Structure 1
Amino acid sequence: MMTRWGVPLLLLSLLAVSSWLLEELGLDRADRNQRDLQNKPDYAIDNFTTVIMDEKGLPKRRLQAKRMVHYAATGIGKLEEPYMIFFAVGSEGEAEEKYAGGNPLQVYPIWHVRSEQGQVLDDGKTVYLLGKVHMWKNDDTGTMELDIRTRDLKVLPGSHYGETNQAAVIRTVTTETRGIGMRAHIKPGRMELLSQVQTIYNDRNND
């Protein structure tokens, strides 16, 4: 038999449980709304292209993609078939001579990087090139002199630097070098393979 205090205590218990359930449901709904917001893009651009200029108004690098989808909640831009180009100009002495002569500086693409997918973070300060990555360097005549194949490359465009912990293959006219993990110093054009490095030398005289 229930005492006179039993009913109020039971009601209080039910009220506490109901309040807890409502709070949990509210938090769960808020979490779902937050996840939905993060997964919802605020805009998308087909044939996306952005160009970063230097202090003289010359292009330093260009990023383009078949499609870019931006997510406001995270600030991430997801790229389809991204393609990065780093440009080069003449030396400072040559630049002064050309400006003194009234002629504009000649700018040419020197490093190219393509991948299957990509992500842009931190207002473009970090770019992840995901999936298969093809990276190559041209000389000043436009002839390819360095060809690199790897996967999942993290690029810091402002520092002219990239890195991956995946397998990489670096080919030149006379060599093929394979290794695991790579650091790419894009500005001086210096590549480092971190482990299991093997190099094969091609004797062009036997071709």
Structure 2
Amino acid sequence: MIEQRNLVIGGLLLALVGGTLWLARQSSLDESSHAAQEHRADYYLEGVDSTMMDLSGRPGKRLVAERLTHFMDDDSTELLQPRLTLYDLDRPPWRVVSETGWLSGDGEVLLLQGAVKIDRSAAPGVRPLHIRTRDLRVQPRDNYVETDAQVNARSNADRIDAKGMQIWLQQPIRIKLLANVRGRYEVNP
């Protein structure tokens, strides 16, 4: 009878040890699969300066950033102090500057986060334009930008304030102000 009782206790202990080992192994597998899906950088670059040429061989777009950090899990890229230049054939280029940025893995969406400045210099037949806003969504391939934030635009002595904006930066340039638009225009006598 004692041998049977020791055999039962031994079997229960053996089952308990086996169950514990099985649970430990399952937990380890769960942690390793979670670690594989973790959003970690696989490389970074400092002092980035990249120019994309158009079909005729002239500069089309230029992206400069203090630091670029790439993430393998979704192929996205984070940018520190990005500066985007969109060149126009016959006019001064558009310059867009922000505090930080995020570029999707397919390159279709660039989110410029924090304070954003959009500037175009004056040229013969072209007025200067300076826009201040926040959190700009850019579609680089289409030269399109938009924001839902407050927008302040200045051109010479004229100014416009609005809530939200869409801009098509290719010819013909179009700017659509979305809400609460107020403007002040200076007329030269």
Q: Measure the CA separation in 2 of the matches of 1:144 and 1:68.
A: 33
2:72 counterpart of 1:72? yes
Pick which of 140-149 and 121-130 moved more.
140-149
Q: Is the 8 A contact 1:110 1:140 kept in 2?
A: no
Residue identity matched to 1:64: V
2:109 counterpart of 1:126? yes
The answer for the alignment partner of 1:197 in structure 2 is: 181
2:154 equivalent among 164, 171, 179: 171
Structure 1 length-normalised TM: 0.75
Residue identity matched to 2:55: E
Deviations 1:44-91 (A, max 9, x none): 2x221111111111111111112222223322222121111111124x
Q: 1:94-109 maps to which residues of 2 (within 5 A)?
A: 109=92
Structure 2 length-normalised TM: 0.81
Deviation at 1:17, TM superposition (A): 5.3
1:18 and 1:142, CA in 2 relative to 1: closer, same or farther beyond 3 A? farther
Residue identity matched to 1:127: L
Pick which of 183-192 and 5-14 moved more.
5-14
Deviations 1:118-167 (A, max 9, x none): 12223433211111100012343597611100111111111110111111
CA-based RMSD of the aligned residues comes to: 2.8
Query: Gaps (5+ residues) in structure 2?
Result: none
Q: 1:81-160 maps to which residues of 2 (within 5 A)?
A: 81-90=81-90, 109-141=92-124, 145-160=128-143
Residue identity matched to 2:78: K
The answer for the alignment partner of 1:41 in structure 2 is: 42
Q: Measure the CA separation in 1 of the matches of 2:102 and 2:156.
A: 32
Deviations 1:7-33 (A, max 9, x none): 556754664454234312321243135
Q: Is the 8 A contact 1:50 1:64 kept in 2?
A: yes
Q: Is the 8 A contact 2:120 2:128 kept in 1?
A: yes
Q: Provide the aligned length of Structure 1 versus Structure 2.
A: 184
The answer for the alignment partner of 1:19 in structure 2 is: 22
- DSSP 3-state at the match of 1:55: coil
Residue identity matched to 1:40: A
1:161 equivalent among 144, 147, 151: 144
Q: Percent identity?
A: 27
Q: Is the 8 A contact 2:41 2:69 kept in 1?
A: no
Q: Is the 8 A contact 1:71 1:77 kept in 2?
A: yes
Larger helix proportion, structure 1 or 2? 1
1:133 and 1:142, CA in 2 relative to 1: closer, same or farther beyond 3 A? farther
Q: Measure the CA separation in 2 of the matches of 1:113 and 1:47.
A: 17
Q: Measure the CA separation in 2 of the matches of 1:119 and 1:151.
A: 14
